[in-house]
Structure formats: C-alpha cells, structure tokens
C-alpha cells in the first residue's frame, strides 16, 4: 500500500522515458518513407498581444491544408500548432519542443520579429527546414539570414522603402511628420521610410515616438494638430493601430491630414474591420492586399470560412502552406536531402496569394510585389484597394 506512490511515479518516468527514446531514435529513420505523415510544426501567438493575428495565421494554414485534402505530395500532413505568447523565450522553448520531441519535418509560423530572431540560432543549429511566415526584422534577411530559413514574407525595409517612394511622388516633397511605436519594428520602418524619402529629396519634419501599448494618443495628436503637417507616415500594429486611428478621428485629424503607413497600420482583418470609417482614405504599403488579383479566390474562400476579409496574417498562414507545398512537391515528398529541397525552392518562383514569389538565393528572402493600398468604401465596409503595385521588390540583403 505504502509503495504505491513511488512505484507509480517510477513507472510513469519509465514510460515517459521510453516514449522519448522511441521519439528520438525511431522517427528520423522512418521519416523518409512516403507513407509516413509529414509533420509540420507551426509556432504562432495564441495568447498575448498578437492573439488575434495568431488565430488568423493558424486559420489560414488550416484552410490551405483542408483545401489540399490534408495531403501534400501524397503524404498525409500532421499540423502541430504551438503558442509562443509573442515572447521570444517561449518561442524558443516551443521550437525546441517541436524539433526535439515532436520531431517535425518542417517548422513554420512566427509573428513577432523578436521571436523570429530568437529562434534563428536554434533552427540553424538543428538545420531544420524553417518557413518564417511573418517576422519582418530586416536583419533576418541580412546578418541573421540562415541557409535553411526561408522567408515567404516581407522585410520592414520593403514597406518603408516603397512608402517613401510613393509619399515623395504623390503626397508631397516636404511637410512630412512621422509617428511610430517605439520598438524595433517601428524604428526600422521609420528609418527605412525616411532614408528613401530623403534620398529623393523629401524633407522630414517632426518625428514622434509613442511607447508600445500607448493607451491615450490625445497628447500626441494635440502636438500633431499644432504642427499642421502635410502628411503623416506612421507605424503602429494591433490595438495601438486601432486606438491611433480612432483617436485621429476623435481629434478631427482624420481626413485633414493624409496618412500613410506600413501594412500593419491598416491590416484588413485586424485593424480596418475594427476602426471602420476611421480608416477611410488611409494609404499603406503592404505585401498583401485582399483586392490583389492573386488574392481573389482566397479572399472569397476566407470570407466564407471566417466571415471576415483576410488580413496579412491569415494570408501569411495560407501562403506559408503554399510555399511548403511547392517545396515538398518539387522533391516528391522526400525531405531527406535539405540541400535539394532548398535548390528546388530557389529554382523557380512560387505562385502565391501574395503574388508571384521568387526567393533570393543570397538569403532565402522572398522577392515580393508590394501593393500600395488605399482604404475605400467597399461592399462590406472599408477595404484595402490596390492603387499601385511595385513589382518584384528585393531587400538589399546581406550586403546592406
């Protein structure tokens, strides 16, 4: 009777250990047979500040797999989704779990750039086939690029750079004010925008930084009202973006001052659907648009499934699926030789919902069409309408 506790604990440990051993030794040996399921791990944010984005990303990936009957290149797909809480430490833990315990063939996902940077060394060390769906820090395509990390998404530079070009050509040669969230992504976007705008001869006025998670933009908006700029370049995401846009309208700045931003500021699903009319007239540069020709079928399907227009993250989940499919099919489902997978993926472009997507052989970074979207009244409320497309925008890459 008294021995029951220790015994059951020991047998539990033994079972757990045995599972770990079969997991560690058994899986790699069997993984190559075609009838073995293809395990795809996805790490995204299902709690914390990016929860809504993470749910969209997961839904996009699930939609894609469902459309393919749960099979890629003849192999049944097992999708394992993990939550990183938008915390890098947690992201690393989850990547290690997927690679070390679940023995996935492919890892993907990630919304936060910080998470993407944090896991970079882990996946590099493990030589894991990695598809970063959304982390956009420039460094990921530059100093932190890695041989088996593919990036079917934009870098901050792509958006800031094109926004600078558009702003100079269409919005004005001076009278520009910038306001952005004071963290890595905001800083990077603004400095890329400013560099591109100034390079062409534009003059930048006041630059404001708001702490991440600013609740009240009132004081900053009053400052903007006093500055009377011609137009504003801005970077905010998620709840910050919603509050910024709503409060812009509250302070009667909406409609008076042109506003251009990086994609996240006017994300269709996350932001525009929440702020509604307060988004109208806004401009953004983004690698995604629900009205891009390449997105037509997907937008319809997504609306039917989720009752919402797709934003960047929902699309990114789907596109990640498309890119993985291309990679897996081009090697007939045999991922054993990673060099071959890489070669096949880099060989020619992948047709995706974002648009045609070739990969840059220097850093595995996608070369993307960047859309200039304007928020216009659509059938179901305000919607991102493509008004211009910058074709095949390529990050300066490792040399920059």
Partner 1 sequence: MGFYAVQSLNALSFSMLLLLTGLGLSVVLNLMNFVNLTHGSFFLLGAYVGVYWLASGAPWWLAFPVAFVAAGLAGFLLERFPFRQFYARTHLMQVLLTYGLSVIFADLMRWGFGAQILSAEIPEALRGVVFIMDMPFPIYRLFIIGFGAALAFALWFVIDRTIWGAVVRACVTDRGFVETLGLDTRRIFTAVLVISAGLGGISGALGAGILSAYPGLDEEVLILALIVVVAGGLGTFRGTVLSALLLGFAMTFSKVWVPEFSNVVALAVMAALLVALPEGLVARKVRQV
Partner 2 sequence: MSSIADGTGRVEARPASERRSLPMTAKVALLALAAAIPLLFAGDYQLRFLAEILIIGTAVLSLDLLVGFGGLVSLGHAVFFGGAAYAAAIAAQTLGADVVVMLAVGIATGMASALLMGVVVMRTIALFFLILSLIVGQIVWEVVFHWREVTGGADGLRGFPVLTLHTGFATIPLNNGVALYLAALVLALAAYLAARSFVTAPIGRALLGTRERQLRMSALGYSIPRIRLMALLASGAIAGAAGALYPFVNQYVGPNAVHWTMSAMMIIMLVIGGVGSLYGAFIGSAIYLGIQTYVSSYTDRWQLVVGLVFVLTVMIMPKGVVAGLKAAFGRRKDAEGRS
Contact call for residue 47 and partner 2 (CB under 8 A): yes
CB closer to partner 1 out of 39 and 58: 58
Q: Can you tell me the distance from the alpha carbon of 209 to that of 36, in angstroms, rounded to the nearest whole number? A: 51
Contact call for residue 20 and partner 2 (CB under 8 A): yes
**Is residue 195 within 8 Å of residue 189, measured between CB atoms?**
no
CB closer to partner 1 out of 31 and 220: 220
CB closer to partner 1 out of 128 and 274: 274
Query: What distance separates the 2 farthest-apart alpha carbons in the chain?
Result: 85
Contact call for residue 29 and partner 2 (CB under 8 A): no
Binding site for partner 1 (CB under 8 A): 47-49, 51-52, 55, 182, 208-211, 213-216, 218-220, 222-223, 225-226, 238-239, 242-243, 246-247, 250-253, 270-271, 273-275
- How far, CA to CA in Å, does 152 sit from each of 82, 161, 325, 354? 20, 18, 12, 9
Nearest to 38 by CA among 83, 82, 79: 79
Contact call for residue 398 and partner 2 (CB under 8 A): no
The secondary structure of 211-256 as a DSSP string is -TT-S--HHHHHHHHHH--SEEEEE--HHHHHHHHHHHHHTT-BTT
| Cβ 51 to partner 1 shortest distance, Å | 4
| Cβ 27 to partner 2 shortest distance, Å | 11
Binding to partner 2 (CB under 8 A) within 167-196 occurs at: 182-185, 187
Binder to partner 2 among 39, 72, 83, 324 (CB under 8 A)?
83
Give me the residue label for tokens 């993307």: 368
Cβ neighbours of 174 (radius 10 Å): 14
Nearest to 159 by CA among 266, 258, 285, 260: 285
Q: Can you tell me the distance from the alpha carbon of 63 to that of 67, in angstroms, rounded to the nearest whole number? A: 6
Contact call for residue 87 and partner 2 (CB under 8 A): yes
Q: Can you tell me the distance from the alpha carbon of 128 to that of 317, in angstroms, rounded to the nearest whole number? A: 19
Residue 239 interacting partner from partner 1, partner 2, none (CB closer than 5 to 8 Å by kind): partner 1
Per CB under 8 A, the segment of 17-25, 28-36, 364-372, 384-392 that binds partner 2 is 17-25
Residue 274 interacting partner from partner 1, partner 2, none (CB closer than 5 to 8 Å by kind): partner 1
Binder to partner 2 among 93, 246, 330, 338 (CB under 8 A)?
93
> Kind and range of the H or E element at 164?
helix 156-166
> Kind and range of the H or E element at 364?
none
Contact call for residue 30 and partner 2 (CB under 8 A): no
Binding to partner 2 (CB under 8 A) within 113-142 occurs at: 113-114, 117-118, 120-122, 137, 139
Contact call for residue 88 and partner 2 (CB under 8 A): yes
**Is residue 169 within 8 Å of residue 139, measured between CB atoms?**
no
- The count of chain residues that interact with partner 2, using the rule CB under 8 A, is 49
Give me the residue label for tokens 């216009």: 376
Phi, psi of 182 (to 5 degrees): -85, 75
Q: Which residues contribute to the site for partner 2 (CB under 8 A)?
A: 1-3, 5-7, 10, 13-14, 16-18, 20-21, 23-24, 46-47, 80, 82-83, 87-90, 92-94, 96-97, 99-101, 113-114, 117-118, 120-122, 137, 139, 182-185, 187, 211-212
């Amino acid at each position: 009777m008294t021995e029951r506790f220790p015994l059951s604990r020991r047998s539990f440990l033994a079972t757990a250990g045995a599972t770990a051993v079969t997991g560690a030794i058994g899986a790699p040996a069997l993984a190559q047979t075609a009838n073995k399921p293809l395990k795809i791990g996805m790490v995204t944010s299902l709690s914390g500040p990016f929860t809504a984005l993470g749910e969209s990303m997961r839904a996009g990936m699930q939609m894609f797999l469902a459309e393919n009957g749960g099979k890629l290149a003849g192999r049944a797909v097992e999708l394992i989704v993990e939550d990183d809480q938008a915390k890098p430490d947690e992201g690393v833990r989850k990547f290690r779990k997927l690679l070390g315990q679940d023995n996935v063939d492919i890892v993907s996902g990630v919304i936060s750039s910080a998470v993407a940077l944090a896991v970079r060394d882990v996946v590099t060390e493990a030589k894991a086939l990695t598809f970063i769906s959304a982390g956009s820090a420039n460094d990921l395509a530059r100093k932190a690029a890695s041989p088996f990390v593919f990036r079917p998404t934009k870098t901050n530079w792509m958006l800031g750079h094109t926004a600078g070009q558009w702003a100079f050509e269409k919005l004005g040669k001076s009278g520009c004010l910038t306001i952005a969230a004071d963290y890595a992504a905001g800083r990077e976007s603004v400095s890329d925008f400013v560099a591109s705008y100034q390079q062409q001869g534009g003059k930048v006025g006041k630059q404001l930084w708001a702490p991440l998670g600013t609740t009240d933009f009132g004081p900053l908006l009053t400052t903007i009202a006093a500055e009377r700029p011609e137009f504003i370049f801005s970077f905010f995401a998620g709840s910050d973006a919603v509050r910024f846009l709503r409060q812009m309208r509250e302070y009667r700045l909406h409609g008076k001052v042109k506003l251009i931003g990086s994609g996240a500021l006017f994300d269709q699903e996350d932001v525009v659907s929440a702020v509604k009319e307060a988004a109208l007239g806004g401009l953004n540069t983004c690698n995604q648009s629900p009205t891009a020709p390449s997105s037509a079928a997907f937008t319809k399907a997504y609306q039917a499934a989720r009752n919402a227009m797709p934003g960047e993250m929902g699309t990114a989940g789907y596109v990640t699926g498309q890119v993985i499919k291309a990679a897996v099919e081009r090697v007939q489902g045999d991922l054993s030789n990673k060099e071959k997978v890489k070669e096949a993926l880099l060989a020619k472009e992948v047709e995706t919902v974002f648009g045609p997507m070739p990969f840059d052989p220097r850093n595995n970074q996608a070369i993307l069409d960047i859309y200039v979207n304007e928020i216009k009244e659509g059938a179901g409320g305000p919607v991102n309408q493509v008004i211009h497309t910058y074709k095949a925008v390529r990050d300066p890459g490792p040399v920059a």
